[in-house]
């Protein structure tokens, strides 16, 4: 061999090329240990045979003497054994050096990794190797049976391990602690202890067999498929290399990343477990953010399905432990979403939580918990850094990005054109935006013919994502009316149009132009509609909703205001929370119930009513959509409240000209109208509001449907009679005749 060849050989010998080379060396070492043990055994037999004159079928005196003198120094120090010990020492040193150099080179070696992950001592690791060997080579079955002096005992037992690894009896006793159930090897499920099937009840601790866990066997062989028990419950995600795709406020991303990096920085001596709790509405990007952070920390993420875990009931630990152990083996962060169920105050949730906290403390180096509700750990996690992050619905620019991404595959133009509009209009999370885009696509697909998604499709889809629960608290009104239906003085219509334009440009003014920085509150659009009943307040709300393509919810305040203290706030809070996602228009009818004047606080309930009112005002000011309060009597509304309202629109009682137009617009084009309908006459003679006109027209239509099929003046007048009866106005025959006379008199 040349000098150069020698050098190359030496360099090659200084590290392991891969995990398998190292395993092979460890088996060599095991062979030497077995050799040492068998050599010692044979020497002892020889020694015994020297002492014992003959062999008997029963236990002889000589054998007993021999057993009692087992630690014969002659045998222990025998040069043959010493030779093997020397070989062992040389090999061990060589392995140590090569392992260190290999790890420095960044090559994965499973055994040292296992030891460092679970804090195993060299003795424990050697035990693992003894249990691993028969899985790699069948010769160990024979060797172990031979060493245990029993052809049926092919598996390694506690006794065998102690025999192979301990020189003296005292060493054996000391080593026994690693075989207790609480010791690392068994707590972490690296080894399992089983009874000797030949004598299950009679096996002493020493005789019990040791079995290597199948997942650990895979790990040692460099196979990283997850634990079979976790298939279906957990899924590994490989993170992307950048966080650019994570549609979360960049400030939050940076803060989190710095926090995590600092926590795991090499300079930190004590490394506590780290648990992040992300809370925010559905689809806000909790999992994406966690995965993004994993990408930056260069580790995969193991996601657990909360429902499936919980389905395991009290047995959940049998999944939680392997799951968190898997996190260690894969060097993956753990992610548990939907943790809201754990915040419940029932026993099941509490017990689950305790178990979770326990495994986190044992194995959870980095854990993400995520739910919708805010939460503080209240000391459940000891020795753990617990960091809470709130993820709000993203602002318009991020929503635009989410829309562009969701509509990317749509026909050219659609994405960019619609994204800004939709982002501005709906406060949806990126997840909801994806769902909405998909919904729109399916909706379009279900309609044959045109396959391009339209803006109305997307609006429908967006509304479908929101306000699902709001219908429990409010009545949803389908807005049918548009500008041409409502008859109001010009300046009132202009006022209503201004309200619409404020919604359209909300983000430009508050976001882009920075007005939100100047105003601590009052960004919401609060509107008061006042006017006599039936003058078009609800109708105007519908027109606005129709124009802006937003949902309209009517809330009857008398139903929300509860006599139970605190309940009203709860109801109001629910309403606003639910409405927020869709920017729905909230229409509070009969607002006087809350905003009515109170001269002085007379009883406890009044005091609470005051609290409720300021609570509603606060909610209205925080709300980014439109809140409309309607009242019949503006005078009833306290000045202090009207001052805080952005728009006040007074709905006048319609004058004659308006009444005429209202009469006219109330007959649909398709309705069969008779010749003689005198709108002039009706408008002049009947001083009634639009609401009454609507009722009369409808009654007349039904009457005509029953009699003749053509709507005539007589049907209308009958309708007037009914409406007057209803509202308590007198309608006598005399009056009718007077009207009819004036009618005929007034006509050419």
Catalog residues that contact ligand ADP under the rule CB under 6 A.
Answer: 486-488, 531, 533-539, 651, 662, 690-691, 694
Least spacing, CB of residue 665 vs ligand ADP, in Å? 6
Task: Look up residue 485 and give its two tokens.
Answer: 């239906």
Fill in the DSSP letter of residue 511: I
Which residue, 188 or 474, has its beta carbon nearer to ligand ADP? 474
Q: Return the sign of the alpha-carbon dihedral for residues 98, 99, 103, 104.
A: negative
Least spacing, CB of residue 486 vs ligand ADP, in Å? 5
All residues at 6 or more sequence positions from 500 whose CB lies less than 8 Å from its CB, including other chains: 544, 547, 548
User: Any bridge partners for residue 274, and if so which?
Assistant: 366, 385
All residues at 6 or more sequence positions from 319 whose CB lies less than 8 Å from its CB, including other chains: 229, 230, 233, 309, 312
Least spacing, CB of residue 647 vs ligand ADP, in Å? 16
Least spacing, CB of residue 558 vs ligand ADP, in Å? 15
Nearest-angstrom CA–CA distance, 663 and 645: 33
Which residue, 112 or 536, has its beta carbon nearer to ligand ADP? 536
Least spacing, CB of residue 666 vs ligand ADP, in Å? 6
Which residue, 510 or 663, has its beta carbon nearer to ligand ADP? 663
Nearest-angstrom CA–CA distance, 323 and 326: 5
What is the Cα 198 distance to its own chain's centre?
51
Looking from the CA of 625 toward its CB, the CA atoms found within 13 Å total 27
Do residues 138 and 150 make contact, with C-beta atoms less than 8 angstroms apart?
no
Which residue, 40 or 540, has its beta carbon nearer to ligand ADP? 540
Burial environment of residue 292 by CB neighbours within 10 A (0 to 12, 13 to 18, 19 or more): buried
Which residue, 511 or 533, has its beta carbon nearer to ligand ADP? 533
All residues at 6 or more sequence positions from 229 whose CB lies less than 8 Å from its CB, including other chains: 318, 319, 322
Nearest-angstrom CA–CA distance, 587 and 579: 11
Neighbours of 273 (CB within 10 A): 20
Least spacing, CB of residue 447 vs ligand ADP, in Å? 31
Which residue, 158 or 488, has its beta carbon nearer to ligand ADP? 488
Which residue, 371 or 690, has its beta carbon nearer to ligand ADP? 690
Which residue, 153 or 537, has its beta carbon nearer to ligand ADP? 537
Task: Look up residue 370 and give its two tokens.
Answer: 């995520």
Which residue, 157 or 530, has its beta carbon nearer to ligand ADP? 530
Nearest-angstrom CA–CA distance, 720 and 697: 9
Task: Write down the residue that tokens 């169920």 correspond to.
Answer: 341
Opening angle at CA 260, ends 256 and 261, nearest 5: 115
Least spacing, CB of residue 541 vs ligand ADP, in Å? 8
Nearest-angstrom CA–CA distance, 543 and 279: 37
The residue of the chain with the least Cβ separation from ligand ADP equals 690
> SS3 for 528-593, per residue?
EEECCCCCCHHHHHHHHHHHHCCCEEEEEHHHHCCCCCCHHHHHHHHHHHHHHCCCCEEEEECCHH
Which residue, 533 or 674, has its beta carbon nearer to ligand ADP? 533
Opening angle at CA 227, ends 223 and 232, nearest 5: 125
Nearest-angstrom CA–CA distance, 198 and 666: 95
Least spacing, CB of residue 560 vs ligand ADP, in Å? 18
E-assigned strand segments in 270-397: 273-279, 301-304, 333-336, 366-371, 384-390
Least spacing, CB of residue 629 vs ligand ADP, in Å? 12
Nearest-angstrom CA–CA distance, 705 and 707: 6
Residue 34 has φ and ψ, to the nearest 5°, of: -65, -40
Least spacing, CB of residue 656 vs ligand ADP, in Å? 14
Least spacing, CB of residue 701 vs ligand ADP, in Å? 13
Least spacing, CB of residue 311 vs ligand ADP, in Å? 50
Least spacing, CB of residue 674 vs ligand ADP, in Å? 21
Which residue, 621 or 723, has its beta carbon nearer to ligand ADP? 723
Least spacing, CB of residue 459 vs ligand ADP, in Å? 23
> Which residue, 620, 666, 661, 614, is CA-closest to 640?
614
Nearest-angstrom CA–CA distance, 127 and 159: 11
Rg of the chain over Cα atoms, rounded to whole angstroms, equals: 41
Least spacing, CB of residue 539 vs ligand ADP, in Å? 3
Which residue, 239 or 534, has its beta carbon nearer to ligand ADP? 534
The DSSP result for 145-205, as a single string, is HHHTT-TT--S-BHHHHHHHH-SSHHHHHHHGGGGSTTSHHHHTTSEEEE--TTSTTT--G
> Which residue, 404, 428, 390, 473, is CA-closest to 282?
428
Number of residues written out for the chain: 748
Least spacing, CB of residue 493 vs ligand ADP, in Å? 10
Nearest-angstrom CA–CA distance, 370 and 340: 8
Nearest-angstrom CA–CA distance, 630 and 589: 5
3-state secondary structure at position 368: strand
Which residue, 459 or 587, has its beta carbon nearer to ligand ADP? 587
Task: Look up residue 277 and give its two tokens.
Answer: 């709790």
Which residue, 274 or 628, has its beta carbon nearer to ligand ADP? 628
Which residue, 118 or 529, has its beta carbon nearer to ligand ADP? 529
Which residue, 210 or 693, has its beta carbon nearer to ligand ADP? 693
Could you tell me the CA-to-CA distances from 417 to 410, 414, 455, 703 in Å, in that order? 11, 5, 9, 50
Least spacing, CB of residue 296 vs ligand ADP, in Å? 55
Nearest-angstrom CA–CA distance, 177 and 136: 27
Which residue, 207 or 585, has its beta carbon nearer to ligand ADP? 585
Which residue, 337 or 690, has its beta carbon nearer to ligand ADP? 690
């Amino acid at each position: 061999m040349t000098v150069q060849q020698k050098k190359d050989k030496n360099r090659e010998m200084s590290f392991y090329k891969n995990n398998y080379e190292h395993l092979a060396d460890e088996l060599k070492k095991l062979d030497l240990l077995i050799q040492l043990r068998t050599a010692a055994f044979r020497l002892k037999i020889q020694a015994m045979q020297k002492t014992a004159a003959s062999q008997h079928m029963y236990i002889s005196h000589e054998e007993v003497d021999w057993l009692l003198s087992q630690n014969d120094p002659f045998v222990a120090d025998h040069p043959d054994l010493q030779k093997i010990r020397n070989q062992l020492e040389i090999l061990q040193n060589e392995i140590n050096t090569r392992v260190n150099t290999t790890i420095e080179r960044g090559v994965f070696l499973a055994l040292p990794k296992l030891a460092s992950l679970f804090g195993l001592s060299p003795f424990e690791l050697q035990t693992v190797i003894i249990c691993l060997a028969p899985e790699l080579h069948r010769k160990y079955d024979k060797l172990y049976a031979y060493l245990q002096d029993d052809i049926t005992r092919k598996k390694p037992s506690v006794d065998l391990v102690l025999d192979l690894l301990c020189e003296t009896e005292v060493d054996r006793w000391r080593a026994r602690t690693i075989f207790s159930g609480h010791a690392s090897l068994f707590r972490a499920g690296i080894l399992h202890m089983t009874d000797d099937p030949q004598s299950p009840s009679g096996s002493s601790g020493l005789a019990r067999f040791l079995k290597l866990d199948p997942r650990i066997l895979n790990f040692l062989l460099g196979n990283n498929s997850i634990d079979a028990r976790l298939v279906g419950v957990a899924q590994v995600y490989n993170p992307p290399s950048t966080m650019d795709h994570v549609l979360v406020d960049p400030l939050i991303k940076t803060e989190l990343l710095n926090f995590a990096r600092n926590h795991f920085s090499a300079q930190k001596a004590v490394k506590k477990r780290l648990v992040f709790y992300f809370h925010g509405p559905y689809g806000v990007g909790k999992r994406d953010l966690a995965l993004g952070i994993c990408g930056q920390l260069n580790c995969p993420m193991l996601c657990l399905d909360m429902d499936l875990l919980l389905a395991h009931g009290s047995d959940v630990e049998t999944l939680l432990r392997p799951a968190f152990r898997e996190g260690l083996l894969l060097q993956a962060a753990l992610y548990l979403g939907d943790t809201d169920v754990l915040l419940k105050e029932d026993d099941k949730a509490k017990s689950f939580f305790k178990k979770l906290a326990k495994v986190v403390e044992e194995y959870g180096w980095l854990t993400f918990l995520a739910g919708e509700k805010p939460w503080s750990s209240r000391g459940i996690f000891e020795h753990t850094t617990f960091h809470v992050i709130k993820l709000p619905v993203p602002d318009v620019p991020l929503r635009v990005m989410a829309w562009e991404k969701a509509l990317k595959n749509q026909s050219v133009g659609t994405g960019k054109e619609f994204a800004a509009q939709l982002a501005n209009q709906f406060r949806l999370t990126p997840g909801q935006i994806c769902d909405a885009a998909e919904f729109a696509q399916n909706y379009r697909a279900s309609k044959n013919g045109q396959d391009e998604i339209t803006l109305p499709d997307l609006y429908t889809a967006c509304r479908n994502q929101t306000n699902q629960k709001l219908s429990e608290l409010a009545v949803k009104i389908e807005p049918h009316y548009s500008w041409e239906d409502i008859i109001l003085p010009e300046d009132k219509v202009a006022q209503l149009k201004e309200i619409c334009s404020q919604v359209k440009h909300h983000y430009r003014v508050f976001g882009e132009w920075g007005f939100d920085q100047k105003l601590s509150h009052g960004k919401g659009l609060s509107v008061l509609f006042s006017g006599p009943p039936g003058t078009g307040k609800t109708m105007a709300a519908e027109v606005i909703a129709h124009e802006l393509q937003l949902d309209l919810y009517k809330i009857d305040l008398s139903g929300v205001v509860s006599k139970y203290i605190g309940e009203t706030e709860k109801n109001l809070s629910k309403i606003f929370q639910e409405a927020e996602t869709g920017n729905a228009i909230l229409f509070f009818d009969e607002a006087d119930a809350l905003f009515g004047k109170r001269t002085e606080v007379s009883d406890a309930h009044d005091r609470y009513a005051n609290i409720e009112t300021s609570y509603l005002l606060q909610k209205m000011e925080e709300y980014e959509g439109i809140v409309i309060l309607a009242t019949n009597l503006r005078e009833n509304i306290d000045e202090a409240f009207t001052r805080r309202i952005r728009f006040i629109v007074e709905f006048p009682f319609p004058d004659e000209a308006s009444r005429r137009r209202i009469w006219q617009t109330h007959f649909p084009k398709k309705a069969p109208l008779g010749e003689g309908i005198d709108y002039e006459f009706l408008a002049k003679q009947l001083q009634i509001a639009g609401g009454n006109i609507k009722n009369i027209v409808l009654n007349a239509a039904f009457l005509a449907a029953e009699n003749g099929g053509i709507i005539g003046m007589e049907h209308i007048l009958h309708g007037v009679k009914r409406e007057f009866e209803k509202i308590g106005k007198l309608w006598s025959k005399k009056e009718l005749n007077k009207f009819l006379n004036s009618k005929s008199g007034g006509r050419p």
